[in-house]
Amino acid sequence: MNAARDFVLSVEDLTVSFDGFKAVDGVNLYVDRDELRVIIGPNGAGKTTLLDLICGKTRASAGTIQFKKKELTKMAEYEVVRAGVGRKFQTPSIYENLTVYENLEVSFPRGRGVFGCLTFKRTPDVVERVNSVAETINLKDNLHKEAGALSHGQKQWLEIGMLLMQEPELLMLDEPVAGMSVKEREQTADLLNRICKGRSVIVIEHDMQFVKRIAHRVTVLHQGKVLCEGSVDKVQSDPKVIEVYLGH
Ligand code: ADP
Ligand code: MG
């Protein structure tokens, strides 16, 4: 049914088994361009493992992951990045001793040859992208601050910015507002609403207030399988979802 449509990401029958235990078990997932998909589900449902499979960190036992018609399941992690997939992990990996500007600058994708790696100039395209990304992530006034001096929330935004420097067509974020203040959560929701334009975004999140502010569609995972999928209203009123997740 979905085969005829042009999804950016088509995951089919995806399964990974760890010593016989299926952490992800026959998952199908189709994500459009300009779509912000949220994945929810109880702890241990397989949400992080699903992102690990898509970004090439974990090898699938079965199934396919088509991204812009390219098969990702056999690719190395760096090849998946090159294909246009950016992934943010739960703990930020920024360079604390570099400024915001420098953190963004070093994330600009460089040439693949020896010269691309060794020579790095502040060319106009780099400067322009740093400034535009800094604006998107609300850090324009902090460009010359050391990243280590940023608030917890700002560090998370900086890491999102570092991913945006690569202009990924699919961006995946694992619990991006964990530990953030209410105000930072609101600003992160606005940020995500801005950056899903022109790309696809997948967010794993528990905070249902936050999910309501960002989700176009929600996929509920439970025991490695898709339990329910649809609008926030649809999944929130689904008795199965209430039983295994929202009721607690
Ligand atoms: P979630 O992110 O939804 O909380 P995870 O994807 O982290 O869940 O984990 C799903 C299940 O898979 C858990 O039971 C977890 O213990 C197990 N698991 C995840 N990674 C591995 C691994 N590398 N080896 C063995 N078991 C794993
Ligand atoms: Mg997780």
Say whether both 119 and 228 belong to one domain: no
**pLDDT, tens digit, for every residue of 161-182?**
999 999 999 999 999 999 999 9
- Residue 89 forms part of a structural domain: no
Average pLDDT of the chain? 92
Task: Report which bound ligand comes closest to the CA of 178.
Answer: 2
Full residue range of the structural domain in which residue 144 is found:
94-167
Instruction: State how far the Cα of 178 lies from the Cα of 189, in Å rounded to an integer.
Output: 13
Is residue 94 over pLDDT 50? yes
Specify the range with the lowest mean pLDDT, choosing from 11-20, 25-34, 40-49, 110-119: 110-119
Please name the residue whose Cα sits nearest to atom 14 of ligand 1. Answer: 44
Same domain, yes or no: 79 and 182: yes
The rounded distance, in Å, linking the Cα atoms of 39 and 225 is 12
181 located within any domain: yes
Last residue of a domain, one of 137, 167, 197: 167
Whose C-alpha lies nearest to ligand 1, atom 13? 44
Query: Considering the domain boundaries, does residue 66 fall inside one?
Result: yes
Q: How far is the CA of 51 from the centre of ligand 1 (A)?
A: 11
Q: Is residue 1 over pLDDT 80?
A: no
pLDDT value at 201 more than 80:
yes
Three state DSSP letters for 79-126: HHHHHCEEEECCCCCCCCCCEHHHHHHHCCCCCCCHHHHHCCCCCHHH
Q: Are residues 113 and 150 in the same domain?
A: yes
CB of 46 closer than 6 A to ligand 1?
yes
Distance, CA 135 to ligand 1 centroid (Å)?
Answer: 36
Nearest alpha carbon, ligand 1 atom 5: 46
- Non-local CB neighbours of 153 within 8 Å, separated by 6+ positions: 180, 181, 184, 187, 188
Tell me the CA–centroid distance for residue 100 and ligand 1, in Å: 33
d(CA 181, CA 161) in angstroms, rounded, equals 19
C-alpha distances in Å from residue 175, one per residue of 37, 88, 89, 120, 179: 13, 9, 8, 33, 9
- 119 exposure class (CB count in 10 Å sphere: 0-12, 13-18, 19+): exposed
- pLDDT tens string 107-129: 998 754 445 554 566 788 899 99
* Residue 3 shares a structural domain with residue 62: yes
- The count of other CB atoms within 10 Å of the CB of residue 212 is 14
Q: Are residues 78 and 17 in the same domain?
A: yes
Q: Taking the model in full, what pTM does it have? A: 0.93
